[in-house]
Amino acid sequence: MRLVNRIIEGFEDIVVALGLCIATIAAFAEVVARFVFNTSTGAGGELTNYPIIWAAMVGAAVAARSGVHIGVDIVVKQMSPTLAKITVLAGLLVSAGFTLIVTWLGIELVQFSYGTQQVTMELLWPRWILFLSVPVGMGLMTYHLLQEFVRRLRQPSESFLLDVTESDVSELTDQHAGA
């Protein structure tokens, strides 16, 4: 399982880094072409937007893996350890269910686009490649949410609130260290 996780994490990190790198280079090239040479590359918009879309969709999975998605835990901290654990577990399951549904709908979108042979306006690339970012990103996010669910499920209720409090303390420490 650790090998699978390392492969998935490596894939996610490469997609996000490469997507942002390609988008930055494409945007820079388009700006230089327009303002220095008074022309356009003709594909700057798609070469900027599409990698960013991929980076954002897969980046959402990276955020789920890292636990940096927005969450309100002030109420959870006031609950008993058992109720807090049940609440967080329910939240993780609902989130995983939502991302699973979006994954399924994304697969249907890719199949539709592939079947109709839609292409992009500028580069004439198959649109299904762009749309594939939805099921890939949401599928990976579902995977990470379920991993967190299993991790939290195995955690004793008594140490559950300590884990939430410690993560807040480490976040505050990281913020002050960076300031």
Which three-class secondary structure string do you get for the chain? CHHHHHHHHHHHHHHHHHHHHHHHHHHHHHHHHHHCCCCCCCCHHHHHHHHHHHHHHHHHHHHHHHCCCCCCCCCHHHCCHHHHHHHHHHHHHHHHHHHHHHHHHHHHHHHHHHHHCCECCCCCCEHHHHHCHHHHHHHHHHHHHHHHHHHHHHCCHHHHHHHHHHHHHHHHHHHHHHC
Residue 164's pLDDT is what? 62
Question: What would the two tokens of residue 113 be?
Answer: 């686009």
pLDDT digits (tens, 9 = 90+) for 42-86: 788 889 999 999 999 999 999 998 877 666 677 878 888 888 889
Is the pLDDT score of 170 beyond 70? Answer: no
- 50 part of a folded domain: yes
- 176 part of a folded domain: no
Q: For residues 141 and 145, what is the distance between their CA atoms, to the nearest angstrom?
A: 6
Q: For residues 16 and 66, what is the distance between their CA atoms, to the nearest angstrom?
A: 14
Residue 175's pLDDT is what? 47
- 175 part of a folded domain: no
Least confident of 43-52, 111-120, 143-152: 43-52
pLDDT digits (tens, 9 = 90+) for 126-139: 999 999 999 999 99
Residue 74's pLDDT is what? 77
Residue 173's pLDDT is what? 46
Q: Which domain holds residue 32?
A: 2-166
**Dihedral angle over CA of 31, 33, 34, 37, nearest 10:** 140
Residue 115's pLDDT is what? 96
- 115 part of a folded domain: yes
Mean pLDDT calculated for residue range 159-164: 71
- 70 part of a folded domain: yes
What is the number of domains present in the chain? 1
